[in-house]
Amino acid sequence: MPTLFEKIIARQIAGDIVHQDDRVTAFRDIHPRAPVHILIVPNKPIPTANDIEDGDEALVGHMFTVARDLAKREGIADNGYRLIINCNTHGGQEVYHLHVHLVGGAPLGPMLSR
């Protein structure tokens, strides 16, 4: 079964795609938690951070350079932003296709609530 994000990557279901190349796709989160909330996703389905393999280092690095470029393009680089990867149940992961959340555009408060 393809993941929800694979369907967005393949344009089988609608997504607000802001970047796509041969390795990653980035699209706006459907329930944004901040003025800018973009998900950067590998085109190949890696379920969780636990499933990243040594051979994926360049791919994962590319996810971060795309996040950097999108932050600049969205105008949030100078004020700052947060990059988040949730993993499994305790991490609050909802979609089991690895993704980096790029969130910013307003003060985000403390990293974790107590």
Residues marked active site are found at: 99
- How do the residues of the chain divide into helix, strand and coil, expressed in percent and rounded to 5? 30, 20, 50
* Nearer CB in complex with ligand AMP: 1/78: 1
Q: Are 47 and 72 contacting, i.e. CB atoms less than 8 angstroms apart?
A: no
Minimum distance from residue 2 beta carbon to ligand AMP (Å):
13
20/41 Cα distance (integer angstroms): 10
* AA letter at 42: P
Question: What is the binding site for ligand AMP (CB under 6 A)?
Answer: 4, 15, 27, 29-31, 39, 86, 92-95
Minimum distance from residue 70 beta carbon to ligand AMP (Å):
15
* Nearer CB in complex with ligand AMP: 71/102: 102
Q: Are 76 and 105 contacting, i.e. CB atoms less than 8 angstroms apart?
A: yes
Minimum distance from residue 97 beta carbon to ligand AMP (Å):
8
* Nearer CB in complex with ligand AMP: 29/56: 29
84/61 Cα distance (integer angstroms): 14
